A = this chain, B = another copy of it.
Amino acid sequence: MDSLRIRILTDGKNLGNGILKVDGFINHQVDPTLMNECGRELARRFGRAGATKVLTAEISGIAPAFCTALALGVPIVYARKQKPITMPDQIFLTLAPSHTKGREVELIVSPEYLGRDERVLIVDDFLASGQTILGLARLAKAAGATIVGIGAVIEKTFEGGREVLKPLGVPIEALALITDMSEGKIVLAE
């Protein structure tokens, strides 16, 4: 994913405290061609996992998860952070601490769209502390579904999320690995 690496180095901004601003191509404005390329690459890496559904969290996970699901030809479910009025009363809900929000957020999925026969590929824009993805994994497990893999567009390796997720025992793939953001740097792994 050279195109992604180049874009991070060109348009990404290190705002300090480990916060990478990618609002110009992932999080507020989205480059659909680049994102579609990311989705195809994640779908390729998990092509043999037999996923029947892609699971992500609103908001910024939607675009990469959508593209992965499009390439795999399976539905995508995005966990809501507020229960809409169209959702039934009985739901799967978990709490996940949000680094960028500075508080816990709810992750909610309707049992209508996540069942015990599903093989779930979890996809998000960032793998950082791993807490959001771990929350999604709890939702999948609560539904009795099988988690078959975890994919992220960008991993911040120095936040330790991969270690947090290791007990899940599933393959983890990230398309760009940032190893160091100290002193204003953005260092990508080879």
Contact = CB atoms under 8 A, between A and B. Distances in A.
Contacts of A76: 29-30, 32
Most-contacted residue by chain B among A21, A23, A36, A112 (CB, 10 A): A23
Copies of this polypeptide in the complex:
2
Main secondary structure of the interface of A (DSSP, over half): mixed
Given A85-B100, A87-B23, A112-B23, A32 B80 contact: no
Interface of A: 15, 19, 21, 23-25, 27-33, 35-36, 58-59, 62-63, 66, 69-70, 73-78, 80, 84-87, 100, 109-110, 112-113
Contacts of A74: 32
Contacts of A110: 23, 28
